[in-house]
Structure 1
Amino acid sequence: MKKLSLLILVASLASACTWVKVSDEAEEVVVGKEGNVRGCEKLSDTNVSVANSIGPVHRNSEKVATELLNMGKNEATRLGGDTIVPKTKPDDGRQTFSIYRCQK
């Protein structure tokens, strides 16, 4: 019983944490919409994923969405992009973003 209580406590605490941080370079990455990137160069699409649950405990959906966005921004800087556009909504800890370079 103590092990189960401890597991639930740890999972509850972990579900509230945001583990994926935005790199310093990615702080400047803009989250846009399709209409905002018409004059931009599309560099790539990226699929990102994070843990949606820890054992039987589901993580907070806002925290998961924030981590996915952070990963998308980090990936944009790795590829030389400055703008990301969500192609899909977060689903089961996964999301797809298009990466663009809009500033020359």
Structure 2
Amino acid sequence: MANARLPLLAAAALLLAACGNSWVQVTPEGERVSLATAADVGNCRRIGAANVNALDSIAFVDRGANRLQEELVNLARNEAGAAGGNRVVPESTIEEGRQTFGIYQC
């Protein structure tokens, strides 16, 4: 009976570990992009938008808001870097793991 629980416990441990690690790595282009506020980009040129999404839950387990926000920002930074931008500004709140960012060149 104890051996039957081992795969379940191993799966649960992997699930918890996955919830704690960021799955989104910042690309070299994204490294040159920073998160800003609307006030920070007043003299910058808006060059587009990044509509990004990440999993907000895994197997019915909600992921932490901070981890989700970090992944969305990293995704937006990557998109902005690929588009030639160097700043991203959140333009919406997180809804079901989705968020929109403005891409700016300053």
Q: TM-score of the superposition, structure 1-length normalised?
A: 0.87
Q: Is 1:23 the counterpart of 2:10 in the alignment?
A: no
Match of 1:100 among 89, 101, 104: 104
Q: Is 1:78 the counterpart of 2:76 in the alignment?
A: no
Distance 1:4 1:93 in 2: 27
Q: How big is each residue's C-alpha offset from its partner over 1:23-71, in whole Å with a ceiling of 9 and x where there is no partner? A: 1222121211112212211111111011111112222221111110000
Alignment RMSD (CA, Å): 1.5
| Equivalent residue, structure 1, for 2:54 | 50
Percent identity (aligned): 33
Whether the 8 Å contact between 1:12 and 1:57 is mirrored in structure 2 is: no
Q: Radius of gyration: which is bigger?
A: 2
Q: Which runs of 5+ in 2 are unaligned?
A: none
Q: Which runs of 5+ in 1 are unaligned?
A: none
Aligned AA for 2:29? E
Whether the 8 Å contact between 2:48 and 2:103 is mirrored in structure 1 is: yes
Aligned AA for 2:95? D
Across the two proteins, how many residue pairs are aligned to each other? 102
